[in-house]
Amino acid sequence: MEFCPPESPAVGPADFQVDPSSNPALERFKVAGNAIVAGGGGDLGSTSSRALLQHGLGKLAIFDLDSVEGAKRVDKLKAEFPSALIIFKTVDITEADHVDHAVNEVATEFGSINILLNFAGTVCCMPSLDVSPVEWRRVLDVNTTGSFIIAHAVARKMIAAKTGGSIMFVASISGHSVCYPQPQAPYNTAKAAVMMLKSCLAAEWAVHGIRVNSISPGYMDTILNEGAGLDEAKSVWLSRNPLGRMGHREELSGVVVLLSSRAGSYINGSDIIADGGQTLF
């Protein structure tokens, strides 16, 4: 296939000519357009959604399987950002028809989709000898196949509208190295596959002005890593982290804003690790 520059890149040199009266520092990290955040009902997804709105996002659709918690998060965001259009949809990203329908509805209501951020995922922590083929397929289906399904649906809308855009997958340091002390081969494999998927789509879709990147968080201080049962594992994690602590959910927001704004307009096919140096040891 012959590759050529996109007819209408999402961001180009002309976009760097801002109003002289405006603040160039703020304009650099301004987030324009409309976004879908899949898995936006969770701690990390809702925090990143808030960051996008703080930086100027106009319309936001949160997709999540948990309709109760998702609706609560949306209500909080609506109260904080009354001028933004914020909606919630219960979506299973492993169901292609369901995803296509939801994305079509968002594109119709918003007019365009400029940003996709996918936090939707699931984990499996058990010895490999105890993992059934059903469980293996479930973890890869949500984390890897689901990432492709939703990116595929959104990219087709971006291409049809000739707007380009930014697609971000949430991978993990688990895709970079074997986790310790917890055994989780299905999850590690799924996240490593997400990073390769990111690279493939970045190479193919750049001609349409679509940038595809991934973010690899380390161990984050969220509800998923709470509970006395994790005390021993957390002690090991912290002992192997140069900063000696877990990450705060806000510490992913800067990367999300970077990749969604003009500041990240030449970043494509990259994986940005935010782990406090966990993967150094």
CB proximity list for 179: less than 8 A, separation 6 or greater: 173, 188
> Which residue of the set 89, 187, 216, 219 is catalytic?
187
Tokens (6 digits) for 65: 């399987």
Q: Which position among 89, 191, 198, 265 bears the catalytic label?
A: 191
Instruction: Write down the catalytic residue from 166, 172, 260, 265.
Output: 172
Q: Which two tokens stand for residue 37?
A: 């955040």
Is residue 187 annotated as part of the catalytic site, yes or no? Answer: yes
Residue 160's nearest CA partner among 4, 1, 26, 8 is 8
Q: Cα separation of 209 and 246, whole Å?
A: 35
Task: Report d(CA 139, CA 186) in Å as an integer.
Answer: 6
Active site residue 191: yes
Task: Count CB-CB contacts under 10 A for residue 238.
Answer: 15
Burial of 8 (0-12, 13-18, 19+ CB in 10 A): exposed
Residues with a known catalytic role: 172, 187, 191
